[in-house]
Amino acid sequence: MKAKGRVFKYQDNVDTDVIIPARYLNTFDPQELAAHCLEDLDPEFSKKVKTGDIIVAGKNFGCGSSREHAPLAIKAAGVSCVIAATFARIFYRNAINIGLPILECPEAVQWTEDGDELVVDFDQGKIVNLTKNKEFQAEPFPEFMKQIMAADGLINRVKTSR
């Protein structure tokens, strides 16, 4: 499984209230959530993001409340993966549960800027910054996570394993 896209880069401690503001939590409609994804941090994000683009962020991405809406909004916006120095554990689990690929790689975060183009190979954990011609190594997905991603989320994986 691979992803290729343009980077939207953000700082440390991007919390779930910024990823999808609480005023939009009355819906689980993915497209409605996508329309408001990151709007308090980057008001133009939903207009600029294209299918396949990649979010790169610092430490503790997805901290705050444990709402499932946050990774759902990111995925519905067309983001192919999120790379961060570290993730809040509940966000990490929620992202995996809905099939949003995420990788921890502090070195990639350090050497990547907004607008760079990345290629990510999840099976090998390889991140290549095409703009800067640099390569980084993250932990590859274990087999069970590959199966969850291939099924587009944990619920679909459980349904297909019966």
- pLDDT tens digits for range 106-138: 999 999 999 999 999 999 999 999 999 999 999
The Cα angle at residue 79 between residues 74 and 81, in degrees rounded to 5? 100
> What is the token pair recorded at 75?
């995925």
- pLDDT tens digits for range 43-66: 999 999 999 999 999 999 999 987
d(CA 156, CA 135): 33
* pLDDT computed for residue 141 by the predictor: 85
The secondary element (H helix, E strand) that includes residue 119 is: strand 117-121
Whole-structure pTM value: 0.94
d(CA 116, CA 71): 22
Identify the DSSP state of 106.
H
Q: Could you list the beta-strand ranges (E) of 2-105.
A: 2-10, 54-57, 81-84, 102-104
- pLDDT tens digits for range 7-33: 999 999 999 999 999 999 898 899 999
